Amino acid sequence: MNPCIPLLLLLPAAAAVLAPPAGKVVVVLLGPPGGGKGTQAEFITKKYGLPPISTGELLRAEVEQATPLGRRIQGVMAKGELVSDEIVNALVEQRISQPDAARGFILDGYPRTVEQARFLDTLLPRKGFPRPVVIVLKAPVEAIVSRLASRGRADDKPEVVRERIAVYERQTAPLIEYYTGAGRHDIDGLGTPEEVFARIDRVLAPKAGR
């Protein structure tokens, strides 16, 4: 028998393992608190139909509903510190397994630590998703502080905002390095939301086949 034949038979199987799952898109939005991630997630949802997944919102819902988990994390969140990787990773795994996320989703505020990014690297292939498109929204600190001041959320008090920015610089900024060369796109976060979205859309459109 021609020795090439068994090899040729194996090729489709190898391609299925190596090629990213067709038609699915996972977007990771990185950037400082108040940098416009939530607003941009809404724009992406509107055009691409991908659900936004904000770990901050998932966690706030637990606190508001005073679930056992909510009671455990309330103090940490009020101080502007990070909830443990274990808790957040489990919440994300649960959320991306819902039917509305089958074609992909937008992660807003996750990952926040290198540990979470490593977990996501194993979670995505395990659930049949491709590597994420990482969008880093760049915004100077002054712009952030004034945006947060006008938002009025419980953890937007000036002293908590300062802590959240410090936590970002300490724990989340290293992620930008983590994603170097791995599908990372740095986007200028200044300008109107529409202007910023146009920059993001130039990156996403080809990846989503638009």
Nearest to 108 by CA among 172, 188, 43, 40: 40
Out of 83, 120, 134, 204, the only residue in the binding site for ligand AMP (CB under 6 A) is 83
Residues, the chain, total? 210
Q: Is 120 in the site for ligand AMP (CB under 6 A)?
A: no
Q: Is 80 in the site for ligand AMP (CB under 6 A)?
A: yes
Out of 59, 136, 187, 196, the only residue in the binding site for ligand AMP (CB under 6 A) is 59
Q: Which run of H or E residues covers position 108?
A: strand 104-108
Of 37, 60, 147, 184, which is the active-site residue?
Answer: 37
Nearer to ligand AMP, 77 or 136 (CB): 77
Q: Is 55 in the site for ligand AMP (CB under 6 A)?
A: yes
Whether 37 is catalytic: yes
Report how far residue 108's alpha carbon sits from residue 94's, in angstroms, rounded to the nearest whole number.
16
Q: Are the C-beta atoms of 78 and 70 separated by less than 8 Å?
A: no
Q: Are the C-beta atoms of 95 and 58 separated by less than 8 Å?
A: yes
142-179 burial, b at 16+ Cβ within 10 Å, e below that, comes to: eebbebbeeeeeebbeeebbeebbebbeebbeebeebb
Out of 25, 41, 44, 77, the only residue in the binding site for ligand AMP (CB under 6 A) is 77
Out of 112, 124, 147, 156, the only residue in the binding site for ligand AMP (CB under 6 A) is 112
Q: Which residues lie across from 138 on neighbouring strands?
A: 188
Whether 126 is catalytic: no
Stretch that binds ligand AMP, among 17-25, 78-86, 118-126, 190-198 (CB under 6 A): 78-86
- Provide the terminal-to-terminal Cα distance of the chain, rounded to the nearest Å: 45
For residue 178, what is the DSSP state?
A: H
For residue 101, which phi and psi values (nearest 5 degrees)? Answer: -100, 10
Please state the closest distance from residue 191 (CB atom) to ligand AMP, in A: 21
Stretch that binds ligand AMP, among 4-12, 81-89, 118-126, 179-187 (CB under 6 A): 81-89
Interface positions with ligand AMP (CB under 6 A): 33, 54-56, 59, 76-77, 80-83, 88, 109-110, 112, 116, 155, 164
The catalytic site residues sit at 37, 112, 151, 153, 164
